[in-house]
Amino acid sequence: MKDSPIELLREKVADLRKLISKILVPTQSESKRYAEDFILKRQEIQELVEDIRRLGISIEAELVELSEIDGEVKKNLDTIYKLLKNSDLKSKGNTYPRDYWWWHIWDIVEKKRKRKIKRITIYSLLTVLILIGVVILSNYFKPSSQEIIETMDSSYKYLSEGKVDMAQRVLEEKIEKYNNSPDLWLSLGIVLEHKDVKKAKEAFDKSLKLYKTKKDFLINRAIQYKKLGFYEKAERDLEEVLSMDKDNSQALYILATIFEEKKQIGEAIKIYKRIEELGDKADPQILVMSKMRLITLLQSSNLPSDSK
């Protein structure tokens, strides 16, 4: 029968499906009205379903189709919420139970958004806390190499101020933590040269044992002497290295930079040229740096061209 409850239900469900397709079309100018119609028609269908159930009639097929429509709408609640945001129907939602979810689209979407904002806030807070933790850890748990360099620099600062005891103390405290650091023992030896020559030699001997070779020890001590402006001591160590290995490009390069700092540009140019002549025998990085320094010095110096 055309006017039977089941036929009427089928007809209303079909109309509801058509209505949904109109709501979800982005260019549809009447989407807001269709969204409001959905709520009203969905309510009509719900009341009809309850009436049919009271009659004991099976409508499983119709309920499956209705569930599919509900599912499609729930997937697009954000779109429908935007259409219904200022609708007068919102005020009527409190008169219907939560099971009638179409009357509570506003609450559902707004609660969902609040949860999302809360998650974002928590994640943002956690990110900030993690970043703060990383900063704290990086300050308190520095790599050993960085910690050693900073200790050496601090010791040299005290030494330059004439505070030999303080320079010694900061190194010895760090040596307790890094007893096998050849750099710390070397720096301690340099500091102790201003206080106790015998103890300075003991520190140097300890450092020498920790370096791989005597050349490594001498080159690193020359670097530290140069940093402190002790050029004569640095030159002696470098000359000793060159007596063992006349083509040691690292020792030659450090020696050239010392001559530059002492304004002995002619001597520096000679050594840079010597490194350049070594070619493949020289450390590639040192070779490149030497060529760059040589070009700079030749361009800026007033030496006769034959000296260049």
Does residue 219 lie in a domain region?
A: yes
The first and second tokens of residue 62, run together, are: 């119709």
- Residue 252 is part of a domain; what is its CATH number? 1.25.40.10
Does residue 13 lie in a domain region?
A: yes
pTM higher than 0.85: no
Boundary of a domain, candidates 180, 210, 240: 210
Can you tell me which residue has the tokens 């006349």?
A: 246
Does residue 112 lie in a domain region?
A: no
Cα–Cα distance measured from residue 197 to residue 74, given in angstroms and rounded to the nearest whole number: 85
Shared domain for 232 and 258, answered yes or no, is: yes
Shared domain for 166 and 247, answered yes or no, is: no
Q: What is the DSSP string of 40-92?
A: HHHHHHHHHHHHHHHTT---HHHHHHHHHHHHHHHHTHHHHHHHHTT-GGGGG
Cα–Cα distance measured from residue 162 to residue 272, given in angstroms and rounded to the nearest whole number: 35
Shared domain for 188 and 221, answered yes or no, is: no
Q: Which domain holds residue 246?
A: 212-308
pLDDT, tens digit (0-9, with 9 covering 90-100), for 39-53: 999 999 999 999 998
Does residue 31 lie in a domain region?
A: yes
Predicted local confidence at residue 184, as pLDDT: 96
Does residue 122 lie in a domain region?
A: no
Shared domain for 55 and 67, answered yes or no, is: yes
Shared domain for 47 and 103, answered yes or no, is: yes
Does residue 120 lie in a domain region?
A: no
Task: Compute and round to an integer the Cα radius of gyration of the chain.
Answer: 42
Neighbours of 120 (CB within 10 A): 10
Cα–Cα distance measured from residue 114 to residue 72, given in angstroms and rounded to the nearest whole number: 23
For the chain, the domain total comes to 3
Shared domain for 97 and 31, answered yes or no, is: yes
What pLDDT tens digit does each residue of the chain (308 aa) get?
456 888 888 899 999 888 888 887 755 568 888 899 999 999 999 999 999 988 888 889 899 999 999 999 999 999 889 888 888 898 888 889 999 999 999 999 999 999 999 999 999 999 898 888 777 665 555 567 889 999 999 999 999 999 999 999 999 999 999 999 999 999 999 999 999 999 999 999 999 999 999 999 999 999 999 999 999 999 999 999 999 999 999 999 999 999 999 999 999 999 999 999 999 999 999 999 999 999 999 988 765 544 44
Shared domain for 223 and 308, answered yes or no, is: yes
Cα–Cα distance measured from residue 32 to residue 83, given in angstroms and rounded to the nearest whole number: 5
The DSSP 8-state label assigned to residue 99 in this structure reads: T
Shared domain for 39 and 57, answered yes or no, is: yes
Shared domain for 22 and 77, answered yes or no, is: yes
Does residue 125 lie in a domain region?
A: no
pLDDT, tens digit (0-9, with 9 covering 90-100), for 122-141: 999 998 988 887 776 655 55
Q: What is the DSSP string of 176-205?
A: HH-TT-HHHHHHHHHHHTTT-HHHHHHHHH
Does residue 133 lie in a domain region?
A: no
Boundary of a domain, candidates 210, 241, 265: 210
Can you tell me which residue has the tokens 């119709």?
A: 62
Boundary of a domain, candidates 156, 184, 210: 210
Predicted local confidence at residue 305, as pLDDT: 43
Shared domain for 188 and 227, answered yes or no, is: no
Predicted local confidence at residue 1, as pLDDT: 43
**Cα 220-226-228 angle, rounded to 5 deg:** 110
Amino acid at 253: Y
Shared domain for 206 and 217, answered yes or no, is: no
Shared domain for 292 and 229, answered yes or no, is: yes
Can you tell me which residue has the tokens 């020498």?
A: 208
pLDDT, tens digit (0-9, with 9 covering 90-100), for 155-174: 999 999 999 999 999 999 99
Cα–Cα distance measured from residue 123 to residue 24, given in angstroms and rounded to the nearest whole number: 33
